[in-house]
Amino acid sequence: MSVFAGTSGFAYPAWKPAFYPKNVASKNFLAYYATKLNCVEINYTYRQLPKATTLAGWVNATPEGFLFATKAHMKLTHILRLKNAAEFTEIFLRAIDPLRSARRLGPVLYQLPPNLKCDISLLSDYLALLPADIRFAFEFRHESWLSEPVYDLLSRHHIALCLAESERLEVPKVFTADFAYFRLRKGDYPAEERQRIAAQVRELSAAGKDVYVFFKHEDDPAGALYAEELLTCE
């Protein structure tokens, strides 16, 4: 199956010259990024609903097969906190539909707030709203969610448990969908650790799962270089 690797964002001038060449203008960052990597996690959709013209620009700047993993809007996760969220869920999914229609939409990531404790009924009611033709991943940041009933519920809906690194929480490697979603947040991964990551990715891919791996972004180009190396190893 397919391996998709990238970073959580791409618009970082500080990645020059280790990742972006010096002569690449910021308006062309995404196009260059897509020559090296095949997926990007987008935080933009967490704070605002994207315009269709913005999404069209992303699609036009990247080749077929390049995917955009979008973060669910903060109104869903941090304001409504999944409750009474049917209307805005429809609004959000309609806003990102141009990516789905263009076959460029990767998984949609729901990153729940750290102070939201486990509520099986709440999660069950919300998951029932989500369409089956889009992949979704849930990142839980309170330990109470890390339990078999939650994993079983995700599995029934074919939704992935996001395997996110955190200083406060260790998420077990439980796979609840036909794809895996990793968020690797360290700033540095020694060669031996990168080899272990690559081996696990190959194992999951060989078992029939698509694998999405997103390294840390921001001011250090290391994550982009790690992602590029992972695709080369794959």
Complete domains list, the chain, with CATH:
3-233 (3.20.20.410)
Sign, CA torsion 178/92/32/227: negative
Structure token pair of residue 7: 């970073």
Q: Please tell me the distance from the alpha carbon of residue 119 to that of residue 161, in angstroms, as a whole number.
A: 16
Contact 179, 160 (CB under 8 A): yes
- One digit per residue, the tens of pLDDT, for the chain of length 234 reads 699 999 999 999 999 999 999 999 999 999 999 999 999 999 999 999 999 999 999 999 999 999 999 999 999 999 999 999 999 999 999 999 999 999 999 999 999 999 999 999 999 999 999 999 999 999 999 999 999 999 999 999 999 999 999 888 999 999 999 999 999 988 899 999 999 999 999 999 999 999 999 998 777 899 999 999 999 975
**Count of CB atoms situated within 10 Å of the CB of 57:** 13
Distance of CA 155 to the CA centre of its chain: 18
Contact 5, 231 (CB under 8 A): yes
Structure token pair of residue 60: 């036009």
Predicted pLDDT of residue 217 = 74
> What is the three-state SS of 161-191?
ECEECCCCCCCCCCCCCCEEEEEECCCCCCH
Residue 167 CB partners (closer than 8 Å, separation 6+): none
Cis peptide bond N-terminal to 63, omega within 30: no
Predicted pLDDT of residue 234 = 57
